[in-house]
Amino acid sequence: MALLPARTKHRKQQKGKCTGLAKAGCFVDFGDFGMQSLGRGWITSQQIEACRVTITRYFARKGQVWIRIFPDKPITKKPAETRMGKGKGSPTAWVSVVRPGRILFEVGNVTIEEARKALRLAAAKLPIKTKFVTRVERV
């Protein structure tokens, strides 16, 4: 079950820059514990799904999981052994742009030890560094 948008305005997007810090999604809002990004980069829909499966399997029908990122950026690739030119390649994957400070996953209704272990196992599936964070009550 790969994540991808139902429809988009444009089929292809430019690469863009991944500078700065996360502007939104920096706090644990839904669960009790979360996984926060320390690095920047692209996270594919396959990596998000691998993390989700890892967390839910570790919890074994207890706890809740929230995915706080969504892959809405199409990535194109030209076929192997193709000469230069002839336009941009066709979309092959969907990615989510992640900047430092972004909450990637949240979990709830589990103990802190279970949450820490599950998020550590999921973090091994990602190409960026992450840290374990807890909910802070904000005013």
What's 71's domain CATH number?
3.90.1170.10
Q: Domain range spanning residue 103?
A: 33-75+90-134
The answer to whether residue 84 is domain-embedded is no
Q: Tens digits of per-residue pLDDT, 64-102?
A: 999 999 999 999 999 999 999 999 999 999 999 999 999
User: Can you say whether the dihedral through the CA atoms of 60, 61, 63, 68 is positive or negative?
Assistant: positive
Here the tokens at position 130 are: 């992450």
The answer to whether residue 68 is domain-embedded is yes
Domain count, the chain: 1
Distance CA 51, CA 107 (A): 12
CB proximity list for 16: less than 8 A, separation 6 or greater: 73, 97
pTM of the model: 0.95
The answer to whether residue 65 is domain-embedded is yes
The answer to whether residue 46 is domain-embedded is yes
CB proximity list for 114: less than 8 A, separation 6 or greater: 58, 59, 63
pLDDT for res 136: 84
Which residue type, as a one-letter code, is found at position 103?
Answer: I
DSSP tag of 6: S
Average pLDDT over residues 106-121: 97
The answer to whether residue 58 is domain-embedded is yes
pLDDT for res 139: 64
